[in-house]
Structure 1
Amino acid sequence: MSDPSEGRAAASPAGSLVERLRSVHLKMVDAVLGGDGLQQVAALAAEAAGAPVAIVVPRLDAAVAAGADGPVLEAVRRYVADRVRDRPSQVPEALAAEAPIQSGDDVVGAVVMLHGEPGAPEPLPEAGDFLHLAAVACLTEVAVEEAKEEVEQNLRGSFLEDLRSRPDLEPREVVRRAARLGCDLARGAVVLCAELTTDRPRHVIATITGDEPGALAEHLDGRVYAILPGTGGDDAPEGTTARGRALATRLRRHGTVGVSSFYSDPAELPRAIQEAELVLDVLKQGEGGGWDGVQDIGTGTYRLLFRVLASHPEEVRSFYEDTVAPIVRYDDQYRTDLVGTLEAYLEQNCNMNATASAIYAHRHTVAYRLERVKELTGLDPMLSEDRERLGLGLKAYRIIAPRLPK
């Protein structure tokens, strides 16, 4: 008959391991919920396993290690990033074991045990169990961060949606709500509006906030909106406008981007959003082949018209009707090109021969079309004052064309 004490002795190591696993797991979860993050989880896993440990979660842009140097961590980061994206990956020489961080069927990262320095003690036999515990704790960290991101995203989306739809927002409320989201609007702002050709709006938003840490960016109704807060002193308008245009240039590989002018008053941010949307609409029409002068959209006269259109659209529409609207409608009805001829005439400094050459027409054809412009509009392209009104009318037409009835 066997001695019961033998059974207790045999069970003791297993019971001790279970208790240790439970203790380490609780510490890891406490670290995550207490805000210490993945670095503390890696430290606990390394201590429990008796070997260096690295944790990489590309979704959180996180790569941390306990007991490993920078080059080793960088190699592990590349390896895990490739694995997560299901790309061919080269296993780092330092890798000894790994446990995937898995959410459902999706692998979002990995906890990796690394070889120690030559002569270092061997990892504990149960080291793999601690890697898996760390993976579970990391999944909790992913859930916590995604919950935070969802809350912030909802707040950003609600704020930007209110700016788009509620022009009556009080300036102090605008500044206060933006500040809660880490955006300081005290010095004004520039707004970007982008319509993407990529299906990765999160990547575009990450690019914006990476370039402009204080910016607010969100994907709404198929477009990405971004508010770039003003920085600096007296040069805030010029500097912020320049930054906005530089960022728009960078983003254009992902789609079409409209940029507003600088608005110093937070109460006018709804108009800034409208202006950015207007610029985007005009750029889209120009890119579709409707207008060769789209590259001039950022010039002073156009920018002024966009601001007026955002605040007093009826004034721009009225000016259009009083100038070039008759020849636009005439072209639409009879398939003529009075608008194109007038634009070419103004661009060629009112030189008949140069205009004829530019539009591949006879000089007499140009003269006839300009006479029709005079008859239809009551404005003579040969007279300086009338030319100025016609030129401004053409600019007004270009910026309201996307919203005219078809």
Structure 2
Amino acid sequence: MTNFIDRRLNAKNKSAVNRRRFLRRYNQQIKEAVSDAINQRSVTDIDSGESVSIPKRDVSEPFFHQGKGGHRDMVHPGNDQFTQGDKINRPPSEEGSGAGEGEATPDGEGEDNFVFQISKEEYLDILFEDLELPNLKKNQIAKVTQYKTVRAGFKSDGNPSSIDIVRSLKNSLARRTALTGKHKKQLKEAEKQLAQLRHAPHNHSADIHILEAEIEALKKRIKKVPFIDEFDLRYKNYNKLPLPSSKAVMFCLMDVSGSMDQTTKDMAKRFYILLYLFLTRTYKNVEVVYIRHHTQAKEVDEHEFFYSQETGGTIVSSALKLMSDIVKKRYPQDEWNIYAAQASDGDNWADDSPLCVDILNQHILPLIRYYAYIEITTRNHQSLWREYEKLSAENSHFAMQHITQVADIYPVFRELFKKQIK
């Protein structure tokens, strides 16, 4: 199937308003297309732009057309087969219908989907729309900065949608007053003199002729001043005002034991890349702590977290103990909003799973705002999931989700970080 992609640039933002209107109008279809597209991406290009395809039926405009039945009288000029009054049978409905989406007519013609390109910024905006960190408390002004858009006067250039009509007309009036005020005063004086000469007892035809020529010249000069000029246009100016927010830290705990095969690790990395993009896109300077674990846990940097090949057995409690120690040393509860996201395939020593619940209950959950556990497996749930289920039933800020395939990652991510109704 042939796809047509419009790659023309928007010269001087002339089409920017229409583009935003289009994105708003077909927001739901674009969301679905972006959700489908993210599952087909590799881990390395998950934050680039995207070609979005919308079915032709979803972008077609409603229209009025002639329905079945009724009588129509018309004459087609130039035909040599029919005359007025002849009756022509309607063709069968299937002969007059066009091809559906992805289908071709008998002569080989059909309709393609509508395909267009969205930028990286637009892609990420749609990807993380209506998401937030749950239970974020504003307890101290610190690094995490959120912004509120506020009016900040006017500017002489901008987008056509932000033009301020009243301010522009005021500028136009001031300019016209400044440029034509002197001439209007002269015109008024000349017209007054002309009226006096016309009512004078003596003949002043020569003076009247001169005044009429002067009045005509003044009127032309005033008329040449345009009603509105590009210089008059003023656009609404907006600034981003930083709002007080709180310190926040996200702990990313990933199981890298031998039971986590490469496919499972790739799905875990996809989830954490989405989480990282969401945090850096929505909040500023959120700290992220990366912890990898097998039988032992280790705090690592971003590169080692995603690309290290280290592996081993599985003791999940080692990661929870390390997280608890780091929180006590570096992140006081009264100053930080603490979050955690744990990804594992659920494989763990049976004796270690109850210990994980004890550590979470006593040392972690009382200190954090939200804890998300993601189990990535196609097998039946094991002891870790069953122990965590009990924990989830008792703690509203402990969430669990199950991922079996790549297509589950984005829906699960949105479910975990959806905006709360207040």
| TM-score normalised by L of structure 1 | 0.23
| TM-score normalised by L of structure 2 | 0.22
The structure in which a higher percent of residues are helix is: 1
State which structure, 1 or 2, has the greater radius of gyration over its C-alpha atoms. 2
